[in-house]
Structure 1
């Protein structure tokens, strides 16, 4: 239950960041940097009386159906929740801050800030097994079947939107949109990578039993034991290896510092762990 609530919170956080970045930085400057929000900005510029939030809701229905059929109901359900959250937040922002104007005269700075905020939000959402809806569903499908990183997969439909942006808003804003799409792709991949980075730890210590107990009982992780012989004294010792999150590793390091500050520890950073206790093998 706690894990599900955490996932819901993270999806809502990601949705808020996407809505915030779009409404305050991208939309006022007519920067359609891909995605369903970019398409909504384009249509809103042609039909300004139709709110961006309403446009986003309307365009997502067909893509929701495709996402549920192709990727599955869990992904579809999370995506529906996320995308309608974004649309709802956009409507709320439009009510609270009507007729928003660019915060500065520098479009490039606003583009960078908007994409940074939106990319962070999208990365959080994708990491929870959902998407922000719209063209991101197409990106997720590409990611599933062609095994391309999600950031690069999202590029494909987003480039189509940026081409449309160039034809509507002019080549200058079209170029800004292309730049935004490229930055967004990189940010999404890096955010997901940071969430899924783990530490592969190997420990040699005179307090091996206590360390093993701490890993299993306190950190709720497993460990593998190897036996190795040192070249200097020719003594055989246990080598404890385990895979931990960054937070778990810091706790383990603090514990080892207390029980055996002369322990020998090697640490390698790994970007993906599959199996029990981690991500499912797909």
Structure 2
């Protein structure tokens, strides 16, 4: 593959990535503007905090969420690197803009709170799933979880996100003066998490993925994976059965939503690499327990 073809292929892939992520941002913004925020449901995260500030101070949710994300984005740039944070900044800005844009329309749902929580969770899960599917992030608790996982690898990212959301939901019970609103937020979070899983890796109940990468550039690919995806890898020496040329076999265990980023990082480094992705029903170890 010559340089021109490779550049063309990368441009097509990045264009598709951002189109899918912007679509996901729009769907997520709809969940906030039309279902959760108008019904005083704050389902965790920075957006949940912004929803409560909107209730208390009448501040725009999107702009407030963006301001709250700025220090987290700076922290994320220091810990996670430029490539991750650029995507996160773009998607965070898009989500914030779309939330405030959709809020200008006066046809939000006001009615049964259980319907608001369920459909808010469905749209939130689909939107976030599309963003995660293409290697993006909406910032907020995702940045907090990744950065704390760097410092405290014995705490899983999922556990940190769950704790952060629990704190926000508990605060919402106080802000809205209603335990029911907090319980509806839990329903929205649960629904959202199930839809994220369905969008990112189908309707199966896979707990993790084991990716086996056969490449002629094992050192370069391994460096790219540890830098971009922040996952440890194991490199084995091998040789091609037909060519008898030396090869490297890289083993990498990831969460399902990270599989796309691993695949992209490998192909960007070695377009000729051979990648096998298989289900791992249980993965445990330092910084990784699912």
TM category, shorter: 0.5 to 0.7
* Conserved? CA contact 1:127–1:195, under 8 Å: no
* Conserved? CA contact 1:64–1:133, under 8 Å: yes
- 2:168 maps to 161
Superposed CA deviations along residues 208-246 of structure 1, whole A, max 9, x for unmatched, are: xxxxxxxxxxxxxxxx99xxxxxxxxxxxxxxxxxxxxx
Q: 1:44 to 1:93 in 2, by over 3 A?
A: same
Alignment counterpart, residue 3 of structure 1, candidates 3, 13, 19: 13
* Conserved? CA contact 2:172–2:182, under 8 Å: yes
Mapped partners of 1:83, 1:94: distance in 2:
17
TM-score normalised to structure 2 length: 0.63
- 1:29 maps to 39
Q: Matches of residues 181-200 of structure 1 in structure 2 within 5 Å?
A: 181-194=189-202
TM-score normalised to structure 1 length: 0.64
Mapped partners of 2:78, 2:276: distance in 1:
23
Mapped partners of 2:168, 2:183: distance in 1:
12
* Conserved? CA contact 1:25–1:113, under 8 Å: yes
1:185 shift after superposition = 2.6
After the TM superposition, which of the residue ranges 152-161 and 173-182 deviates more from structure 2? 152-161
Q: 1:61 to 1:15 in 2, by over 3 A?
A: same
- 2:57 maps to 47
Q: 1:101 to 1:189 in 2, by over 3 A?
A: closer
- 2:222 maps to none
Q: Matches of residues 78-89 of structure 1 in structure 2 within 5 Å?
A: 78-89=87-98
| Structure 2: gaps of 5 or more residues | 1-10, 210-239, 242-255, 267-272, 278-290
Q: 1:156 to 1:278 in 2, by over 3 A?
A: farther
| Structure 1: gaps of 5 or more residues | 199-223, 226-270
How many aligned positions are there? 207
Alignment counterpart, residue 111 of structure 1, candidates 111, 117, 132: 117
Q: CA RMSD in A?
A: 3.2
Between structure 1 and structure 2, the one with the greater Rg is 1
